[in-house]
Amino acid sequence: MIKYVMPFILALSGVVAAERYEYVSYVAQEIPDSDSTGVRDTIFIDQHIQIEDINIFVGIGQPNTPWGEHVMIDIISPQSTPVRLNDYGGLRINWYNCWYDTDREEDGPGELEDYAGSDAYGHWEMFCFDAFENYTLFWYSWRIEVIGSPIVGLTEGKGPLPTEFEFSGVHPNPFNSTVSLEYGLPEPSEVIFTVYDVQGRKVRTLEGGSMSAGYHNVIWDGVNSEGAQVASGVYFVRMAAAGREFTRSAVMLK
């Protein structure tokens, strides 16, 4: 799983300059047929931005596969506010390269305008569920475009700098594609994450590198050190920083 963030400056009518940010996740995973667990993916927005407008891009299906219209797609904000982008509507167009809030309206309940005025910082989750058999769809990618103003006076993360080392969370948990490991550092430190299976065998090492004081996150894409997708089950993630160690569990569900 690969995540990208691309900041831009967008001029509005030549009067003021609003900042535009794009966050992209390349999912590259099939949505299982008639499986209520669906597929979930997370994009972490690492900046405090007061949302003026937000657009969602969905890359599902492929050209000339109109049954993609039957996939259910929800977007959930960091404040746990859901918006149903697509429900089981009638056939319209295929799903390949589709924008919401520009070319296509949300089916609801909820609409993207509900997010206006809120802080974009945190984990945005997308859930896709295909209720039908024999209509296998492939989820290529998705993208969040946020237009808004940076919120000043906040450090990266949850406000003030942490007063101690912490491995604060695993999100989402359970997960079935990627999982975000959240942590806090009271001082600059080298950080290493190591994933183990329930038998204590090392699965993957994630080099956090030298990080500044503050709140951070690192993404585990659910693959082992050889690049193969891990099986469903419980995994243990150990964080090591400045001679301290913390362990959290993460559950992979496919």
Distance of alpha carbon 97 from alpha carbon 165, whole angstroms? 42
Tell me which of 103, 124, 150 is where a domain ends.
150
Q: Are 146 and 208 in the same domain?
A: no
Same domain as 141, residue 172: no
Q: pLDDT for 126-153, tens place per residue?
A: 998 887 777 777 888 899 999 998 876 5
- Which residues constitute the domain of residue 87? 2-150
Examine residue 112 and state whether it is found in any structural domain, yes or no: yes
**CB 133: neighbour CB atoms within 10 A?**
9
| Residue 102: pLDDT band with limits 50, 70, 90 | low
Residue-wise pLDDT for 3-54, tens only, equals 444 444 333 333 334 689 999 888 888 888 877 788 888 888 878 888 999 9
One domain, residues 24 and 124: yes
CA angle 68, 69, 75 (to 5 degrees): 95
Residue 205 CB neighbours (<10 A): 11
Is position 202 within any domain? yes
Distances in Å between the alpha carbon of 84 and those of 31, 150, 157?
Answer: 17, 27, 27
Cis peptide before 172 (omega within 30 of 0): yes
SS3 54: strand
Rg (CA), the chain: 19
The Cα–Cα gap between 99 and 76 comes to 17
Supply the pTM of this predicted model: 0.62
Following DSSP, what letter does each residue of 150-170 receive, concatenated?
A: E-TT--SSSSSPPSS-EEEEE
Q: Find the CATH number of the domain harbouring 202.
A: 2.60.40.4070
Check: CB of residue 124 under 8 Å from CB of residue 112. Answer: no
**Mean pLDDT value across residues 212-237:** 89
Neighbouring-strand partners of residue 188: none
Instruction: State the Cα–Cα distance between residues 140 and 60, nearest whole angstrom.
Output: 6
Going across the sheet that includes 137-150, the strands are 2-12, 16-31, 137-150, 49-60, 98-100
Q: Which among 123, 150, 177 is the end of a domain?
A: 150
Q: Does residue 93 surpass a pLDDT of 90?
A: no
Residue type, 93: I
| Final residue before a domain boundary, out of 122, 150, 178 | 150
Domain membership of residue 156 (yes or no) is no
**What is the CATH number for 121?**
2.60.120.260
pLDDT at 15: 31
